[in-house]
Structure 1
Amino acid sequence: MSSAQPRPSLPEEFLLLSHHPHGRLDDPDLTALGCALAELGELVLRRDLWLATKKTRLFGLDLYSLSGRIHLQSSAPTGLAWADEILSEVGAMTVSRGGPIRLDAWIRHRDSRALSLHEEALIGRGLLRPSRIRGHRVPDPAVCDTLVIWLQAIAEERASMDERMLFLFDLVTGARLGEHLGVTLKTRQRFDRARGIGAVAGLSEDMRDASTVLSEKLTLYRTRSRGGNGDGGDGGDGGGE
C-alpha cells in the first residue's frame, strides 16, 4: 500500500477483492454476508471482540460447529466509526439478551448494511470508481494487485501468514473468490489447515478458530444458495448450542 494511504480495513479489502477488474460482483448477497463477517474479523483481530467457537477432533482434523457466540472484550474507541457503532450495538444486545450474542443473530441484525457502508467509504476514498457498465464499480487496481500478490505468495508457500492475512485468506477462499484471483490451496494444504499445522501452526488457536468459522459461514451460505436452499444470508447454525 502507498505510505500516503492507510491499509483498508478487513471488510474493505474483502469488498475490493470481491469485484472483478471491470466492476462485476458475482453474488451481492454473498458479498454482503462476507462484509459483515469481515467486520467481526477486524474486531476480533483488534481484540475488541472474541468469537467463542465449538469444535471436535476427528481423525486428527478439527470439525467446527458454526454456532459461535460473540463476546464483547472492549468498548474503547477504535478510530473507525463503523467499528465503534458495532461495539456499541454488541454491548447493548449483550445486555438486553443477558449474555453473548449468537453469531447468526448478529448476521440477521447486521443484514446488508455492511456492504453499502463499506462501498460508500471506498467510493469516497476513490478506491471504487464508476465503471462504463451501469451499477458496476471498478476496484483500485494497485490496492487489489498488492493484496492478490500477498495472497498468492501465501498460497504458494513463499510467504508466512500473519493473523490479518489468515482472516483475509480464509474469507477469500470461503467465498470462492480464488478463481478470479488465482488463489487456491492444494489438498495437502487444506488438510494442514484443518489440522492446525503448516502455514497456520504459529498462529493462536483462538484466531484460527474464529477465522475458520467466519470462512465456513460463507462456504455454507454459498453451497445452500447454489443448491436453491439459500435462507437469506445467515447460513444456519451448523449445530446447536
Structure 2
Amino acid sequence: MHIAEGYLPWQHAAAWTAVAAPFVAHGVRSLTQAVRADPDAKLLVGAAGAFCFVLSALKIPSVSGSCSHPTGAGLGAVLFRPPVMAALGSITLLFQALLLAHGGLTSLGANVFSMAVVGPWVAYGAYKLVRSATASLDEQTSLGGAVFCAAALGSLATYTVTSVQLALAFPDPASGFFGSFAKFAGIFSVTQIPLAIIEGLITVVIVRLLSRVNPDQLRRLGVLRRNSAAPAAGQATDASEEKAG
C-alpha cells in the first residue's frame, strides 16, 4: 500500500484512477450530506480523517516500490459508512503524496481504490456481520469484537488488493499473474498481519473511548444500540466519587 510515484505503468495508473473516481465522487457527496444532516458530527469526521492520516503515514518498507503500515480506514467506515471513508481516504492519500512523498499522484487512483474503497467496504461488511452474529452478547463485547474484525480485516484487504495491483502490473515471467501475486501477497502478509492486529486493538480502544465521552453521538450514527448504556462512563464516575469521599 502506498505504491510509489511512477512505479505503475501509465496504463495501469490511468485504469485504477478511472475505477476509483466514481467511488470518490460518491464519497464526497455522502460526506457533504452526513455533515449537513448532523453538524455536530464535524469534529468526529475530522477525528476519523486524522486517525487515518496518522496511521497510514507510518512507513515500513515492504516490497520494492511499496511499503506497509496500518490504514486507519476501519474507524471511519464503522462510524460513517464506506462512502464517506472514500472521500476522507482520498484526501489523506493526496496530502501524503504532496507533503510527505508517501505514495504519488500517478499511483493515487490505485492507492485510493485499495485503501479508501476496498478496505472500508470490507471493514464495514465485517463489522455488520460480527455485530449481527454477536447480537445476544452485551454491548461492549459485541461492539469491541465487531470493531476489531472491521479494522483488522479492512487493513488486510487493502494489502490484498495492492498485491493484485502489483501482480497485474508486473506478472512473473514464468508463472504469470498468480505467481507474481503469491510473491507480493506472501511478503506483504509477513508485515501486515501483526500490523492489522495492532490496528484492530487501537481502533477498539478509540471506539470505546468515544462510547464513554460521546455515547449520544454514536447512537445517532447507529454504532451504539439505542437501548445501550455507557457502563464504562458510569463506572468511572462512581470511582471518582469514591476517591472524592
TM-score bracket for the superposition, by shorter chain length: under 0.3
Higher RCO (CA < 8 A, seq sep 6+): 1
Q: Which has the larger radius of gyration?
A: 2
- TM-score after normalising by structure 2: 0.27
Structure number with the higher helix fraction is: 2
Q: Normalization by structure 1: what TM-score?
A: 0.28
Structure with greater strand percent = 1
